[in-house]
Amino acid sequence: MDIIKELPEIFEEFAEQKKQSFLEVKKCKDRHIPVIGAYCSYFPRELATAMGAVPVGLCSSSEETVKTAESVLPKNICPLIKSSYGFAISDRCPYFHFSDLVVGETTCDGKKKMYEMMAKFKPVHVMELPNSQSERGYEFWRGEVIRAKEFLEEFFHVVITEEMTRSAVHLNNRIRMSLKSLCEVMKLDPVPVLGEDIQKMVLGSKYRFDFQTTPELVAGVREKILKEYGQGKRQERRVRILVTGCPVGGDSLKVIRAVEENGGVVVATENCSGVRALSRMVEEGRWKELIREIPIKKGDFIQIEPGTVHAIKAHTLILETQQNSDITYRLYDYDRVQANGKKRELHIQKSLDVITVDGEEQPNVESTCGLPENVLNQIYSCEKYDIFKLTVNKEAVIDQKYPFLAASVLEGEGQIDGSPLGKGDHFIVPAGYGELRISGNMSLILSTVEE
């Protein structure tokens, strides 16, 4: 999507999105569209969107209602709870006012008590959270999600099918991934924009009820940021700060603002509403929609950038050139079952932590067939390594001027300085070897490092 507006105008529009959507949520009510309010990111928004409801984040990040809450709650209780409950009892949050139901969670004893009191004047369903990240905890939470689904079906007199849920999960994952990609522009140094601007986008996106267009809009903003960065529009180099500890939004944005008004820049927020929440993808099982298949043929070369999710299909033989690595993270295993009846371990979170390529660009596939014979043909070069293709027809003489040459025979047979070679053989030619004579009829791939 081409973004015509200037970036500061876009950021301010997202900053005002929460206020602008007050009228939108009223229109939803007028059209008898259910509205479900929540305070925590643990609430599975997918269940709400699956049944055609509008999920909204309830007001909880302003100190203006704290005194109101203190007329009922102890003064030493968490300010987040006092703000939330103050908005509720004073009826000053339009989203709370128009919500048909509030879905709560047992994140702390204070929240539990708040929901107990809130249930006296607003329908509330509380999801219980597991106390540990374990297999038992996972099964417990799975049961809570199912219980929430069944409650919504009974409360709103609807049926939430698996197909509806998968569709909602897919949409919400697209929104999360678009926002995660937007946040990752802050990896650039110097940064392209301020951290407060990124937070305006992330927080404001929660109040865009045109969910289908959000991923494309956010991607368009990201592209505009990167385009202008390439043109030299960027911030001066600043101290890079990570903000962590509590949800960011409303009055708490002043922390980010204070950092950036004093010469720093907030490059990430690590909390329940930051990059971690955006990375918490739900396992959909719709791999054919998420994985792009690229046709290949014998002799093709593909450069795979670091941080790219990649795999090969059956009946494919590849030669992989890379730096030494003892770690492989398995993101998906085609649901295969081992001899013991169990699936192999997946590393979902570890994979998400190192994925840096969003897959928007098509990898470049180049054929190495038809290159000149008996000479080293450089097929790829970067700051880390060089890769060559050598097709030997009778004899090739190579000057070994590199730190080393790691070679593999792709097909054919022959000799290297009198020693026999065949398909599948590998050898290393050390530095200072001098003139290298290879005879026969065969194809080889050779690689070396940059000096």
Q: Which residues of 65-102 are buried (b: 16+ CB within 10 A; e: fewer)?
A: bbebbeeebeeebebbbbbbbbbbbeeebbbbbbbbbb
Q: Token pair 């180099």 is at which residue? A: 237
pLDDT of residue 127: 96
pLDDT given for residue 444 in this prediction: 96
Token digits for 148? 């929430």
Share of the chain above pLDDT 90, in %: 47
The torsion angles phi and psi of 358, rounded to 5 degrees, stand at -85, -5
Fold of 377-449: Jelly Rolls (2.60.120)
Type of residue numbered 113: K
The pLDDT value given to residue 238: 94
256, burial (CB in 10 Å: exposed 0-12, middle 13-18, buried 19+)? buried
Assign domain 31-160 one CATH number from 3.10.310.10, 3.40.50.300, 3.30.1490.20, 3.40.50.11890.
3.40.50.11890
Contact partners, residue 76, CB within 8 Å, separation at least 6: none
Q: Where are the domains of the chain?
A: 31-160, 180-279, 300-362, 377-449
Please tell me the predicted confidence (pLDDT) of residue 357: 59
pTM: 0.62
Give all strands (DSSP E) within 142-278, no chain letters. Answer: 239-244, 264-270
Active site residue ranges: 330
Q: What is the dihedral of CA 146, 147, 152, 155, to 10 degrees?
A: 150
Say which residues have a Cβ less than 8 Å from residue 355's Cβ, sequence separation at least 6.
307, 308, 309
Pairing of strands 404-416, 419-422: antiparallel
CA triple 122-280-213, angle to 5 deg: 75
Nearest-CA neighbor of 318 among 358, 352, 365, 355? 365
Return the SS3 of 267: strand
pLDDT tens-digit readout, 118-157: 999 999 999 999 988 788 888 999 999 999 999 999 999 9
Give the model's pLDDT for residue 282: 43
pLDDT at 322: 81
User: Within 10 Å of residue 127's Cβ, how many Cβ atoms?
Assistant: 20
What's the CA gap between 443 and 451, in Å, rounded? Answer: 26
pLDDT tens string for the chain (451 positions)? 556 667 767 667 766 777 777 788 888 888 999 999 998 888 999 999 999 999 998 888 778 888 899 998 888 888 889 999 999 999 988 889 999 999 999 988 999 999 999 999 999 999 999 988 788 888 999 999 999 999 999 999 999 999 999 899 888 888 888 888 898 899 999 999 999 999 888 888 888 888 889 989 998 999 999 999 999 999 999 999 988 876 666 666 788 889 999 999 999 887 665 555 545 554 555 565 566 788 899 999 998 887 788 888 888 889 988 877 778 888 888 778 888 888 888 887 777 777 765 555 566 788 999 999 999 999 999 888 899 999 999 999 999 999 999 999 999 999 998 899 999 999 999 999 989 999 999 999 999 998 7
* pLDDT confidence of residue 280: 53
Burial classification of residue 56, based on how many CB atoms lie within 10 Å of its CB (0-12 exposed, 13-18 middle, 19 or more buried): buried
CA–CA dist 451, 435 (Å, integer): 20
Strands 239-244 and 264-270 come out as: parallel
Please choose, from the candidates 330, 312, 309, the residue with its C-alpha nearest in 3D space to the C-alpha of residue 320: 312
Dihedral (C-alpha) 69, 71, 73, 76: value to the nearest 10 degrees? 90
- Encoding tokens for residue 282? 């739900």
